[in-house]
Structure 1
Amino acid sequence: MGLLDMVGGLLGQGGQAQGNNPLMGAVMGLIQNHPGGIQGLLAQFQEKGLGDQVASWIGTGANQPISAEHIQNALGSDQLQQLAGQLGVSHEEAASGLAGLLPQVVDKLSPEGNLPEGGNVMNLLKGFLG
């Protein structure tokens, strides 16, 4: 199964994740281990010129997409390579998978236009893996 297949199977009806998705686990780790958590991760994307996209994921409207190149630029080669190694996929596949998944995860974490604080983020993410 390819990484894009995993992303495609992530969200089922009602926005709940299906099964134990390796990419979702990697995103959880990325958020949990990032300095500042989800807020720190999103600030990193904003610093790289992706503020409009990030705002759309948090807001209640439609999510603006990002490309694999945006992911590579925002995260940097080292962080992306580490993630790709965890997943056993190429650097490009990891970036593409994150580009498809991260907007959805942030959107689900901010249903009313606000991100949850601290430990609530991880509890919500774990709920997606039901």
Structure 2
Amino acid sequence: MFYSEQLNSKFMEKVATESDYFSILMWIEHYGGIAALLEAISQHGLHNSVASWLEKGENFTLYPEQILSIINTDELDNLAIECNTDLPGAAQLLASTFPRLVNGLSIKGKLPLSPDHDFYADGIDILCGH
């Protein structure tokens, strides 16, 4: 039987659950909110990526390695604990969900910041594909 390293690593990746999505949303709020995380990512030279998530069209990929270089490991470790994974697993979860979340929440290049906006309900709908 043939096992490639790439195929093996695909099976080792953590599959996100609805509970993980809720933990990610809570973590984002604890981090300072979606705007604060976008600002941190943008400050690390990923302006075009942020713009791609806010606008219509193809989203640029966010890589776990980028998350690990942007987010303090102590902060990211909190997400890892909540999602029952390790630091690279938490970085993978955040990298795979954050662009989709921003893209789904943005309206005409802006994020809704009104007090009546339900970040958690909308976020779960976007991430779970409801």
Q: Under a length normalisation based on structure 1, what TM-score does the superposition of the two structures give?
A: 0.77
Letter in 2 for 1:125: G
Which has the higher Rg, Structure 1 or Structure 2?
2
The offset of 1:5, in angstroms, is 2.3
1:11 matched residue in structure 2: none
1:5 matched residue in structure 2: 15
Q: Are positions 1:94 and 2:90 aligned together?
A: yes
Q: Are positions 1:27 and 2:37 aligned together?
A: no
Structure 2 residue runs of 5 or longer lacking an equivalent are 1-10
1:109 matched residue in structure 2: 105
The offset of 1:79, in angstroms, is 1.0
Q: Under a length normalisation based on structure 2, what TM-score does the superposition of the two structures give?
A: 0.77
Q: How many residues align?
A: 116
CA distance in 1, matches of 2:54, 2:14: 23
Letter in 2 for 1:89: T
Aligned-residue sequence identity (percent) comes to: 26
When the two chains are superposed, the root-mean-square deviation of aligned CA atoms in Å is 2.2
1:124 matched residue in structure 2: 122
Letter in 2 for 1:5: V
Larger RCO: Structure 1 or Structure 2 (Cα < 8 Å, ≥ 6 residues apart)? 1
Relative to structure 1, the CA distance from residue 118 to residue 41 in structure 2 (aligned partners, 3 Å threshold; closer, same or farther) is farther
Structure 1 residue runs of 5 or longer lacking an equivalent are 7-19
Equivalent pair of 1:57/1:106 in contact (CA under 8 Å): yes
